Structure formats: structure tokens, C-alpha cells
Amino acid sequence: MSYQQFSEFARVSDEQLALARQYQAAILCDVQGRRGTMDSRVRALHPEMTVCGPAFTVEVRPGDNLMFHVALAIAKAGDIIVVDGKADTSCALFGDLMVTQAESAQLGGFVVDAASRDTVSLAKGKFPVFSTGTNPCGPTKGLPGRLSIPISVGGVAVKPGDLVVGDVDGVVVIPLEEVDSVLAAAQAKVDSEEQRIREIEEGLLVSPWLNDALMQAGLKPLDETK
């Protein structure tokens, strides 16, 4: 059995990625039912880091990065290595060396639910890194794990090939089969928000939906509370 077989799965297309890069993670989360965002413990090492690409999923035992290294060796250009590290922060699963290798392989980023290290240099670099905390201690490299399977990272289900988008607000995962519909809805959401901004600038300060929402909650409309 060749490890290369684990890198063969359906991925989001280049066209879908080009569209997805236009939207904030918050927009994409909103239009897929406010679902799919990882816990805020998984966050960018630098506020300007963004990530957008297909998920290459990895499950490791806490504190061990053996299968992370295998994924790093076989992932395809543009892939986002997404690691279920069990939110373990007792040691770092990666640092400068692995990021340097990932950059050389033209990968799209790391999203790791575990600690990282070499924080100053990684935060100054261009490679997108999203992780859970930091720790100077290195990992072991001797325990089996799994590649290219459905995993849970930061409380969110992630399958191989799913679209992963992250920015300073956090990381959102969009199932591969829902990417087209979510991207179409994202543009409609952006158009709606731009229209609302224009209304606010023109003096319409009360959102049109607010009174209906108040009444549905059993409360008086805003204009009846004066």
C-alpha cells in the first residue's frame, strides 16, 4: 500500500477557490446557517494571515506528529493540512522546519488543533498558520494516526477536500458538496450588507427587520416604546 493513495480525493476547484478568496470567513459562516466555524482556540498566529484551500485531514495521537509528517510529504500544492491534535497543548506539533517544508511544497497552510512553536518567526512569515496555543516542547514521532478521513477539529466536522477558509476572525469549513451554493449565497449577503451600509449613511438607523423580530419575540415594536 502506497501512502500516495491518501492524497487522492476530490477537491474544490480552482474556480471555486478564486471565488472563495473574495469573502471573509464571517460571511461564509453566516450563509451556511451560522455553522462550520472552529472553536476560537484555533486561531491565526498573525492577524493578517488568511487561508483558503481544500482540506487534507490528519488525525494524530496527542503530542505525536508522525502522521503530520506523512501528510506533509504527500499533500498536493494548495492543500491545507488540517490536523485533529485533540486540542493538546502539552507540546508543539510543528514549528519552523515543518513550515519551511510546507512552503517548499507550495501547500496552502496549516490548521492544527494543537500547539505550535517558533512563534516569532512563524508569525512574521508568509505561510498561513492557525493553531491552538504555543509550547516550546517538541512532540514525539512514534505513534500511528490516520490520514484523509473525516475528523473533528475545533468542534467542526472536516472531510478530505472540504473548503477551508480562515482569517483573523477564525476558521470556517464548507462541505465540498455545498461550496457552490454557499458561494452564491455569500455574494448575495455581501450585496445586502453593502445596501444596509448605504441606508445607514443616509440616516436609516433602525434595521428594517428589527420591529418584526421584536414582535415575533412577543415584544412591542420600537416605535411603540417611546
Q: What is the pLDDT along the chain (226 residues), one digit of tens a residue?
A: 699 999 999 999 999 999 999 999 999 999 999 999 999 999 999 999 999 999 999 999 999 999 999 999 999 999 999 999 999 999 999 999 999 999 999 999 999 999 999 999 999 999 999 999 999 999 999 999 999 999 999 999 999 999 999 999 999 999 999 999 999 999 999 988 888 889 898 888 888 889 899 999 999 988 754 4
pLDDT number for residue 194: 86
pLDDT number for residue 127: 98
Tell me if residue 211 falls in helix, strand or coil.
helix
Q: Are residues 124 and 203 in the same domain?
A: no
- Tens digits of per-residue pLDDT, 164-179? 999 999 999 999 999 9
Cell readout for 10 is 476530490
Q: Are residues 20 and 50 in the same domain?
A: yes
pLDDT number for residue 208: 83
Q: Are residues 104 and 11 in the same domain?
A: yes
H/E stretch holding 16: helix 14-20
Taking the C-alpha atoms of residue 84 and residue 74, their distance in angstroms, rounded to an integer, is 18
Domain that residue 218 falls in? 184-224
pLDDT number for residue 195: 85
Kindly calculate the radius of gyration of the chain based on its CA atoms and give it in whole angstroms. Answer: 20
Q: Are residues 118 and 50 in the same domain?
A: yes
Task: Enter the pTM of the model.
Answer: 0.91
Q: Are residues 193 and 113 in the same domain?
A: no
Q: Are residues 156 and 192 in the same domain?
A: no
Q: Are residues 49 and 144 in the same domain?
A: yes
Q: Are residues 11 and 119 in the same domain?
A: yes
Q: Are residues 123 and 157 in the same domain?
A: yes
Q: Are residues 190 and 169 in the same domain?
A: no
What is the total count of domains within the chain? 2
Q: Are residues 8 and 31 in the same domain?
A: yes
Q: Where are the alpha helices (DSSP H) in 21-170?
A: 25-31, 66-74, 96-104, 119-124
Q: Could you give the count of Cα atoms lying within 13 Å of 191 in the half-sphere of its Cβ?
A: 6
pLDDT number for residue 78: 98
pLDDT number for residue 44: 98
Q: Are residues 84 and 64 in the same domain?
A: yes
Contact 53, 77 (CB under 8 A): no
CATH code of the domain in which 156 resides:
3.50.30.40
